[in-house]
Amino acid sequence: MNEGHTVTVEWSGDPSLGTVYLAAASRPHCKASLSEKDGQAHLIVRVHHHSLQELRDIVDEMMVALADIEGE
């Protein structure tokens, strides 16, 4: 990984939502992985950027997208 700042977001829950969240988290500067065990999905998203402000903007946009999905 390049020098900079990293944020990790983790989510666990219904596997049917996991793929939707994975799609929403698939964006530049994000590495997302989805696994499933015992009927539970587990999503890990790592966001990395050299600029702290850019990192914050990316994370904020992603969290809004995930919250919109949750609210549906």
Q: What is the pLDDT of residue 2?
A: 53
Over residues 35-71, the pLDDT tens digits come to 999 999 999 999 999 999 999 999 999 999 999 998 8
Q: What is the pLDDT of residue 20?
A: 95
Domain of residue 48: give its range. 5-71
Taking alpha carbons only, the member of 29, 35, 32 closest to residue 66 is 32
Q: Cα–Cα distance between 51 and 4 in angstroms, integer?
A: 7
Record the pTM. 0.88
For residue 24, give both structure tokens: 């929403």
For residue 68, give both structure tokens: 């919109």
**The CATH number of the domain where 57 resides is what?**
3.30.70.60
Q: How many domains does the chain have?
A: 1
DSSP annotation string for 41-68: EEEEEEEEESSHHHHHHHHHHHHHHHHH
